[in-house]
Amino acid sequence: MQTVWQGNFCKTVAIGGTLISLDSASMARPMDSRLHDLRAIGECKRVTITCISEVGWWDTHVLLADLMKAGGPREADQWTSDWSPSNAAGSCSLVEVESLTGAKTKFLVDTGWNVNYMDERLKAEGVDRMLKNGEIAFLYITHEHLDHFWGLEAVLRYNPEIKIIIPSSFQPPAMSYLGGADFAAAGPKNAIRHKGEIIKFQVGEITELMEGAVSVGFDVPIILKIRGEQSLYFNVKDAGLVLVTGCCHQNIVTFADYALNNLNAGGKLYGLYGGLHIAPFGTLEEEERGWIEKMGAYGFEKIAANHCTGLLAVQRMAELGYPLVKGTGSRGSQSDLYVGNGDSVVFG
Ligand SMILES: [Fe+2]
Ligand SMILES: [Fe+2]
């Protein structure tokens, strides 16, 4: 492996003999200098994921206009930019992991963006009741982007003491948001102070979540002046690894290669769920086409790519014959080509 560092940014990463060239905006730091030393993560029996909401925003034109007004993707600061409130929706999923002994653990991945919309979506899927009953073990936040984190109050309304797992890269505004804050210029408001335990998973490390499940924090610079996204890997017995992502700002190739080169789970990539940040704004770039084509080599058996996986990207995957899990295309989601709002996918 050879790694070349320039300033804060790693320009090339050779992982497992494959050289990946990445620009400073899309690459991740190498996680572990002992890539040959594979990490055992145990096994689980089954993972079931229900999409509470995958609609990040309603109108891409409105989002892009707001973004450009704020200085563009690299210059805009999400916490001070002026976002059109009626355009906000958000990403949130309910994960249920069944252990080899049959014990089930439920947790939420992200909280969406628009608090009132998220409240409706949580109610529609019965998650409000699960939160009140203490059935949801914890809330796992992938990254602090507006469409994944600003809907926090909708979750806290039903359980202000819920345990929250965040990446260590969370910045001061995000931390203050947990404690209750109003960012009037940008719009997010959390009127409910979180009173439970906050656990920071170190970016750049593998952290065990439960038997058969780990979180990995990718130290990646992201648009809107955010840094770091954490993603999940589940090792489903007799099936293989299931990869679950919020936005996959580390990119799908880095995400998948990381599993093959760092996790001791039989080397089989079985399932994929979540946002892949490919064509999120309605155009499919050359580099993104390349990622989609590379995905074919991993041998996924179930692909449930939604959220910031643009429709053009999903359509390209369908053309290539990838095993896409279809949804209902209802409750706000725009196509049945992917697992959308209220749809579930079972891995294992
Ligand atoms: Fe997103
Ligand atoms: Fe994101």
- The ligand minimizing its distance to the Cα of 221 is 2
- The ligand minimizing its distance to the Cα of 249 is 2
Sign of CA dihedral 245, 249, 253, 254: negative
Q: Do both 108 and 1 map to the same domain?
A: no
- The ligand minimizing its distance to the Cα of 280 is 1
Assess contact for 295 and 252: CB atoms under 8 A. yes
Q: Do both 18 and 146 map to the same domain?
A: no
- The ligand minimizing its distance to the Cα of 56 is 1
Q: Do both 181 and 224 map to the same domain?
A: yes
How much distance in Å is there from the Cα of 326 to the middle of ligand 1?
Answer: 20
The predicted structure's pLDDT at residue 36: 60
How much distance in Å is there from the Cα of 319 to the middle of ligand 2?
Answer: 26
Q: Do both 143 and 9 map to the same domain?
A: no
Assess contact for 144 and 171: CB atoms under 8 A. yes
Q: Do both 76 and 138 map to the same domain?
A: yes
CA dist., res. 102 & res. 46, Å (int): 9
Q: How many Å separate Cα 60 from the centre of its chain?
A: 19
Assess contact for 20 and 250: CB atoms under 8 A. no
The predicted structure's pLDDT at residue 37: 80
Q: Do both 111 and 235 map to the same domain?
A: yes
Question: For residue 176, what are the contacts with CB-CB under 8 A and spacing of at least 6?
Answer: none
Backbone φ and ψ of 139, nearest 5°? -110, 125
How much distance in Å is there from the Cα of 24 to the middle of ligand 1?
Answer: 19
Ion ligand 1: residues, CB < 5 A: 56, 147, 247, 308
How much distance in Å is there from the Cα of 27 to the middle of ligand 2?
Answer: 14
Range of the domain at 115: 39-345
Q: What is the CATH number of the domain that holds 334?
A: 3.60.15.10
The predicted structure's pLDDT at residue 123: 98
Hey, which residues does 9 pair with through a beta bridge?
6
Q: Quick one: tokens of 230? A: 């954490």
Q: Do both 24 and 49 map to the same domain?
A: no
- The ligand minimizing its distance to the Cα of 223 is 2
Q: Do both 117 and 19 map to the same domain?
A: no
Q: Do both 87 and 3 map to the same domain?
A: no
**Phi/psi-derived region of residue 142, left when phi > 0, alpha when psi is between -120 and 50, beta in every other case:** alpha
Q: Do both 329 and 308 map to the same domain?
A: yes
How much distance in Å is there from the Cα of 57 to the middle of ligand 1?
Answer: 9
How much distance in Å is there from the Cα of 245 to the middle of ligand 1?
Answer: 10
Nearest to 195 by CA among 169, 232, 157: 157
How much distance in Å is there from the Cα of 63 to the middle of ligand 2?
Answer: 13
How much distance in Å is there from the Cα of 291 to the middle of ligand 1?
Answer: 18
Q: Do both 11 and 120 map to the same domain?
A: no
Number of domains observed in the structure of the chain: 2
How much distance in Å is there from the Cα of 106 to the middle of ligand 1?
Answer: 21
Show pLDDT as tens, one digit a residue, over the chain (348 residues).
322 222 222 222 323 223 232 333 334 444 444 446 899 999 999 999 999 999 999 999 999 999 999 999 999 999 999 999 999 999 999 999 999 999 999 999 999 999 999 999 999 999 999 999 999 999 999 999 999 999 999 999 999 999 999 999 999 999 999 999 999 999 999 999 999 999 999 999 999 999 999 999 999 999 999 999 999 999 999 999 999 999 999 999 999 999 999 998 888 999 999 999 999 999 999 999 999 999 999 999 999 999 999 999 999 999 999 999 999 999 999 999 999 999 999 999
Query: Maximum distance among all alpha carbons in the chain?
Result: 53
Q: Do both 268 and 293 map to the same domain?
A: yes
